[in-house]
Amino acid sequence: MDPLLHLRENRAEIERRLGYSFVNEELMELAFIHKSYFYENEATVPAHNERIEFLGDAVLQLLSSDYLYKNHPLLNEGELSQYRSRLVDAKALFGYSEKIGISEFLVLGKGERRQEKRDSLVANLFEAVLGAIYLDGGIEKASNFLFSQIKEQIQSTMSAPSQSLKSLLQEWAQRTHQILPEYVVIEESGPDHRRFFRIEVRLTEQMIGYGEGFSKKEAERNAADDALKKIGPIV
C-alpha cells in the first residue's frame, strides 16, 4: 500500500497514540512525509518534513530548557546544558517515537522503504510531530504532548550520574591499557542544519563502542555509553 494512503487511513489511530487531535490535517501529514517520498511524488505532494522538523527541534530545546530551569533551581548552567542534551539527543528522540509507536506511519520513498529504517529518521520524526503540534495548537499543546510522552525519561535522566561518560571511559582506558580511546567518524549524513553522525570508539584499533547523534559530541557520548555497557562495572 502507498505509505501516504496508509497514513491517511490511520489518522484516528495516530492521533490516539499521540494523545492529540489535529485541527489542520495537512500539518499532521506533513510531519510524516520524508523527503524521499516527496522527491518521488512532487506532482502531488507539496512538501516534506525537514522544515517542520527544524521548527520542532527549536520547540524541543525551548521546552526542555524551560522545564529544567523551573524544576531544578540548584543546577548551574553547565549542568542544565548537560541534562538538556540527554533529553534531546538522537537516542532519546528515537526512544520517544518508539514509545508512542508512530514510526510505522513514516511516509518513505521506495528506495528508503527497501532499506532498514534508520534510527535518525525515527528521531527526526518526533521533532517533526512536535513542530506540527506547535503550529496546530500552540506552545501549551506542544508542552502537554512533550511531557506526557517523556515523563519517565526525564525522571531517569535526572537521576543518572552527571559525570561525563567519556571521562569515565578515558579513566578506565588509561588505568587498564595506558592509552586513550579514539573516536572515529564512520558516517556523516543529513541536511546542513541537522547533520547526523555515526561514530566508533576504538582501543588498540579495536572497536569497543558505537554511537549516533546529531553532533559529534552527542555521538561520541553515546559511543562511550555503549562501550561502558559492554565493559561492565568499572571499579
Point out the residues that are catalytic: 57, 127
- Which residue is associated with the grid cell 535526572? 158
Q: Pick from 145, 195, 177, 199: which is nearest to 14 by CA?
A: 145
Could you give the CA distance from residue 108 to residue 98 in angstroms, rounded to a whole number?
17
* E strands present in the chain: 182-189, 196-203, 206-213
Beta bridge partners of 210: 200
Rg (CA), the chain: 19
CA 57 to centroid of chain Cα atoms: 9
CA dist 127 and 122 (Å) reads 9
C-alpha 89/C-alpha 199 separation (Å) is 14
